[in-house]
Chains A and B, each alone.
Chain A
Amino acid sequence: MDKLGQEWVSSVVDGEASEQDLAHLSQDKDAQEKWQNYHLIGDTIRGELPPALSLDLTQSIADAIEKEPSIVAPGHANKPVSSDELSDVVEGNPASVVGLDIAPTAKPSNVVPLFKQLGQYAIAASVALVAVIGVQNYNVPADIESSPLPVLNTRPLIGSASPVSLQTGQPKATSQNASQGYSEAQLNEQRRRINTYIQDHMLQQKLNTAALHQHKSEKAQEEPQK
């Protein structure tokens, strides 16, 4: 099977399948086997294999559906069921068994619950995927994972004023500032002074490197260890 074909099967496993894919799956024996294998792999990784491995899952699901009274299946409403047919189903007449090679159009009433089951398994598969990714993340020290995003979050402010930044320009007047009864001119004066201090601090960083450097290079540089 080609790569593309595998992809849609795995998307069915992950619960991301379209209606069309599901219909396709119900008819494609090859894909069904693959689908089953994917789930088996998933179960193995999670260590959820039952003591007795019942590998033919689709068949047992189909059997279960078969035993289920068809009357509960949606879609039955639009197709009247004769009492004969109903009794056939209850008695387990092979004709009404949803073998996966039977076209869904032949027995839409029984196919629908099968897909419901599929849906549940698909959800389980996607949960497992999340769980696996989660475990991988826990193995890595949490701080390595820290993305640059938090920097973009605004820090809650301490004190009563707004954030100042040398380059982003005017800090916004906060409501606390206003409530302290400062006039606009006073606020501007305040901002200007804060900016002056910050700018001077930044400038000093440039100028003081010399002083810092002299201080630091007093001790001779040791050769690196290999």
Chain B
Amino acid sequence: MRLLLLAFLALSFSSFAEQQNEEESKTAAFENLSAKAWLRNMSHALQQQQFKLSLIKLDADQIKPMVYLHGRVQEQEVAFLEYLNGPPKNAVRVNNTITFIEHDKPPYSVSGGRIEGLWPAVFAANIERLEQGYQFVLGGRSRIAGRPGQVIRILPNDPHRFGYQIWLDMEHFLPLRFDMISSERQLLEQILAVELIVLQETPSLLLEAYKQKWPLVMNHTERQQGQDWQFQWMPGGFEVVVRDLRRLMGSDSSVEYIALSDGLASISVYVARAGETPLPNELVATNGLSIATERVGNVEVVAVGKVPPATLSRLAQSLTLE
């Protein structure tokens, strides 16, 4: 009887192996996809698919539940993002106009291709933009939100920025999980889908959002041209996106502002008259957001962004006036 049991054990092991083989052949179609092809498919899916995604965002010590709706109305993208906890906070995007509806201020619109606060804008745009700073590596598979997911790692080419990991739904290529990871492999920020529903019909909410008259896009022409500050050093892939001279929000001091981006990480650099109390040289928050300050005479250079603090320090130090 015991020998029988042993035989049964051996049999069950071999049949288990066969099952695995079957599953592998089923997913063989995906085997040929490179990491970049997966990301390209994601970019396409984020623009074309109609879906409802319930997700949570882990940011520092906060957990923010959100719902994201995306659809297409008359060949235009319409998206809706709602923060579910706390005071009502929504964002609506109709094509390239994003309107923020927040409880404490009148709705305002900006122009842009993606609602900020969810996936990086580049995910629904040109993935090639990231290739200067990152490598795409195919990872394993795991189950997210009840669906099989394919892991794609976006590894930084240098230690000047953080790494990212993204889990894509194997059926629809929509992102199910997005992690920002420090070089010590510490999780800094995470967006985690709880439920993904791919819709056949456009949800009525988006149809209404499309018909709704939204405030006009805020005018950006008042941005003044700043002085010609140059970075002597910039990590590969980073580019100056915006530069201007303006008044700092909630403050009466005017600053020179330069925005840098490598597609995933964004850095703001401010040049301002130094305050009475020197700011700390480097400061790091739990979600990876860092601040570095460099004081030059009576001017302080402040760099803010979700990159390692050493990068910010080096950037701030390398800023010179041409």
Q: Are B41 and A224 interface neighbours, CB within 8 A?
A: yes
How far is it, in angstroms, between the C-alpha of A168 and the C-alpha of B218 when the chains are bound?
A: 29
What are 29 A-B contacts with C-beta separation under 8 Å? Answer: A40-B2, A143-B165, A146-B179, A146-B181, A148-B192, A150-B186, A151-B60, A151-B190, A155-B186, A159-B284, A160-B281, A164-B283, A196-B249, A198-B291, A199-B250, A200-B257, A204-B257, A206-B110, A206-B116, A208-B241, A208-B259, A208-B261, A209-B98, A209-B116, A213-B113, A213-B125, A216-B113, A224-B41, A225-B33
Among A90-98, A105-113, A186-194, the stretch in contact with B: A186-194
Question: Contact residues of A with B, CB < 8 Å?
Answer: 37, 40-41, 44, 53, 55, 140-141, 143-144, 146, 148, 150-155, 157-161, 163-165, 167-168, 182, 186-187, 189-190, 193-194, 196-201, 203-213, 215-219, 221-226
| Interfacial residues of chain B within 12-64, with CB under 8 A of chain A in the complex | 33, 37, 40-41, 43-45, 47, 58-62
Would A209 and B112 be within 8 Å (CB), given that A40-B2, A189-B275, A197-B291 are in contact? yes
How far is it, in angstroms, between the C-alpha of A86 and the C-alpha of B241 when the chains are bound?
A: 93
The verdict on B170 contacting chain A, using a C-beta distance below 8 Å, is: no
The digit string for B271-302, where 1 denotes a CB below 8 A from any CB of A, is 00001110111111111010100000000001
Would A197 and B304 be within 8 Å (CB), given that A190-B277, A210-B113 are in contact? yes
The verdict on B207 contacting chain A, using a C-beta distance below 8 Å, is: no
How far is it, in angstroms, between the C-alpha of A167 and the C-alpha of B5 when the chains are bound?
A: 61
Q: Are B140 and A141 interface neighbours, CB within 8 A?
A: yes
| Interfacial residues of chain B within 141-186, with CB under 8 A of chain A in the complex | 142, 151, 153, 165, 173, 179, 181, 185-186
Residue in chain A with minimal CB distance to B277: A186
Give which listed residue, B111, B263, B283, contacts A161 with CB less than 8 A. Answer: B283
How far is it, in angstroms, between the C-alpha of A167 and the C-alpha of B60 when the chains are bound?
A: 10
Q: Are A140 and B44 interface neighbours, CB within 8 A?
A: no
How far is it, in angstroms, between the C-alpha of A226 and the C-alpha of B250 when the chains are bound?
A: 50
Q: Are A167 and B62 interface neighbours, CB within 8 A?
A: yes
A164 to chain B, nearest CB (A): 6
Q: Are A199 and B187 interface neighbours, CB within 8 A?
A: no
How far is it, in angstroms, between the C-alpha of A55 and the C-alpha of B142 when the chains are bound?
A: 40
Q: Are B279 and A148 interface neighbours, CB within 8 A?
A: no
Residue in chain B with minimal CB distance to A45: B9
Residues of A within 8 A of B242 (CB): 204, 208, 211
The verdict on B309 contacting chain A, using a C-beta distance below 8 Å, is: yes
How far is it, in angstroms, between the C-alpha of A157 and the C-alpha of B142 when the chains are bound?
A: 33
The verdict on B70 contacting chain A, using a C-beta distance below 8 Å, is: no
The verdict on B319 contacting chain A, using a C-beta distance below 8 Å, is: no
The verdict on B254 contacting chain A, using a C-beta distance below 8 Å, is: no
Q: Are A193 and B275 interface neighbours, CB within 8 A?
A: yes
Q: Are B121 and A212 interface neighbours, CB within 8 A?
A: yes
Would A213 and B114 be within 8 Å (CB), given that A150-B187, A151-B187, A163-B286 are in contact? yes
Q: Are A44 and B98 interface neighbours, CB within 8 A?
A: no
The verdict on B188 contacting chain A, using a C-beta distance below 8 Å, is: yes
How far is it, in angstroms, between the C-alpha of A189 and the C-alpha of B268 when the chains are bound?
A: 21
Of the candidates B100, B113, B218, the one having the most CB atoms from chain A within 10 angstroms of its own CB is B113
B107 to chain A, nearest CB (A): 13
